[in-house]
Amino acid sequence: MRKLINIPKDLKEAVELFKDAYNLAYINGAIPRRSARLKTKDFDKEYSFSAILCYLAQQGIQAEAQVIKNRDIGFGWSNKEDAARFKQLIETAYNKSLLFDIDKPHRKEYDKEVIE
């Protein structure tokens, strides 16, 4: 299934810069090398745009899970059932996000949607 996602130009550039930073750290040994066999031509491009985007989404989900963990989520909600559902959805998203590991090749292991 293909899904078009409109990423603002500045955000796309920010992800590209983050990817370049991670690849620079990878080349210099600041990030452990993967056990997967590397292609010589791709040695300086270990982390793809999609891997970095997945990683950043995972970090955001985990940050939100930490926020609701230490707070009474029902405060300020007009519908307490919606508040409970919100908390349950964030907790489920957090548990699913734990399956992603940026240091393991992810294209073959996970169900994914194509971002164009």
Give tens-digit pLDDT for 17-26. Answer: 999 998 888 8
3-state secondary structure of 3: strand
What are the residue ranges spanned by the domains of the chain? 2-31+38-115
Residue count (the chain): 116
More confidently predicted of 73 and 93: 93
Chain-centroid distance, C-alpha 112: 12
Contacts of 97 by beta carbon, 8 Å cutoff, 6+ apart:
57, 58, 61, 62
Q: At residue 111, does pLDDT exceed 70? A: no
The mean pLDDT of the chain is 80
